[in-house]
Amino acid sequence: MRIILVGQAAFAAEVLERLREEGHEVVAVYCPPDAVPDKPDPVKVRAITLGIPVRQHASLKRPEVRQEWQELAADLAVLAYVTQIVPPDVFRVPRRGSICFHPSLLPKYRGGSAIPWQIIKGETKTGVTVFWVDEGIDTGPILLQREATIDPDDTAASLYFNKLFPLGVEAVVEAVRLIDRGVAPRIPQDESQATYDPLCRDEHAEVDWSQPIDKTYNLIRGCDPQPGAYNVVRGEKLRFFDARKLTDSRANAVPGTVLEIGPNGLVVAAPRGAIVVKRLRYGSGPKRAAAEVAGEIGLSAGHRLGSQ
């Protein structure tokens, strides 16, 4: 089939490779403009290497995009890790329509931060969905789904890269096979089961150490790597990464109290246990070993996080 690939990052680059291996002709790749001029997107780099035209529009709602798609005369559009809105007058152009990858078991966890919210809310089962694009946000008929587990110490990064990334690539490839064979289903989503969450941002990421330890731990790992769960310390956000939950005899300490700082990390009291944080980021600085950052900002045992 003649395919337009819309996407970005390593996920879209891998989908591009696999579609070509399957014998499909990728007639163009659409990805956002380069955020940093000397760091082009991986899918752009791979497409150029393969001699595939790359189009980078600030918005896919521009009228010239529809004209380009009409001229490409594609059979199918594949949306693989897409952050730009593809309007109806564009996604309807390909002869067989457009499909999209989403990192949850739709209709649950619609929205652009599906992976963080599944961890934050304590889910233990997840998966990927390939669906037919329609006018809504992640609301189109389901083509196929594949399940995966969320382990107790998974972060948003580990869940995506170790599980949902490879599972998602395989799901997209299988979906295209079904379409090519003319047997791809269109299963309506059950709206009674639908959930939607906003983009996970700082307004959701501040840690309240008085909450149950599991809730706090889920927030920290769900916000790792972005945006980074945090508390404000001396006027700047101190963000927590690479955390682990501990259950030990320090369960009676006041929640949020820094119990110790050492080579193993920053140990913070939580109800019925503690959480050790191995890396920190202070303000706009880089992520570094917790003891190093704590030493620089004068954070010591006895400080109570969440109290400024």
The pTM assigned to this predicted structure is 0.95
**Among 170, 193, 216, residue at a domain's last position:** 193
Number of domains making up the chain: 2
Residues 136 and 217 in one domain: no
User: What pLDDT was estimated at residue 306?
Assistant: 87
**Statement to judge: residues 167 and 37 lie in one domain:** yes
Residue 308 lies in a domain: no
Q: What's residue 251's pLDDT?
A: 61
Last residue of a domain, one of 139, 167, 193: 193
So what's the pLDDT on residue 139?
A: 98
State how far the alpha carbon of 275 is from the alpha carbons of 54, 79, 176, in Å: 46, 39, 44
Residue 249 has pLDDT above 60, yes or no: no
- Please tell me whether residues 106 and 43 are part of one structural domain: yes
For residue 63, what are the contacts with CB-CB under 8 A and spacing of at least 6?
Answer: none
Identify whether residues 178 and 34 lie together within a single domain.
Answer: yes
Q: Is residue 209 part of a domain?
A: yes
**Comparing C-alpha atoms, which of 121, 138, 148, 143 is closest to residue 191?**
138
Amino acid at 197: D
Model confidence pLDDT, tens digit, residues 214-241 = 999 999 999 999 999 999 999 999 999 9
Q: Is the pLDDT reported for residue 247 higher than 90? A: no
| 178, 207: one domain | no
With respect to residue 263, please indicate whether it lies within any of the assigned structural domains. yes
Whether residue 306 lies inside any domain: the answer is: no
| HEC readout, 30-92 | ECCCCCCCCCCCHHHHHHHHCCCCEECCCCCCCHHHHHHHHHHCCCEEEEECCCCCCCHHHHC
Look at residue 102 and tell me if it is in a domain. yes
pLDDT per residue as tens digits for the range 69-98: 999 999 999 999 999 999 999 999 999 999
pLDDT band at 308 (very low <50, low <70, confident <90, very high): low
Task: Answer yes or no: do 75 and 178 share one domain.
Answer: yes
- Would you give the distance in Å from CA 282 to the centre of its chain? 23
Rg value, the chain, Cα: 22
Domain that holds residue 237: 202-297
**208 and 260: one domain?**
yes
Average pLDDT over residues 164-186: 98
Q: Closest Cα partner for 112 from 101, 122, 121?
A: 101
Last residue in a domain, options 151, 173, 193: 193
Domain annotation covers residue 223: yes
Two tokens, residue 8? 């970005």
The CATH number of the domain holding residue 234 is 3.10.25.10
291 domain residue, yes or no: yes
CATH number at residue 156: 3.40.50.170
Same domain, yes or no: 129 and 247: no
Residue 36 has pLDDT above 90, yes or no: no
Q: Name the 3-class secondary structure at 5.
A: strand
The answer on 172 and 71 residing in a single domain is yes
Say whether both 228 and 284 belong to one domain. Answer: yes
Asked whether residue 146 falls in the same domain as residue 280, the answer is: no
On whether both 12 and 129 belong to a single domain, the answer is yes
Question: Is residue 302 in a domain?
Answer: no
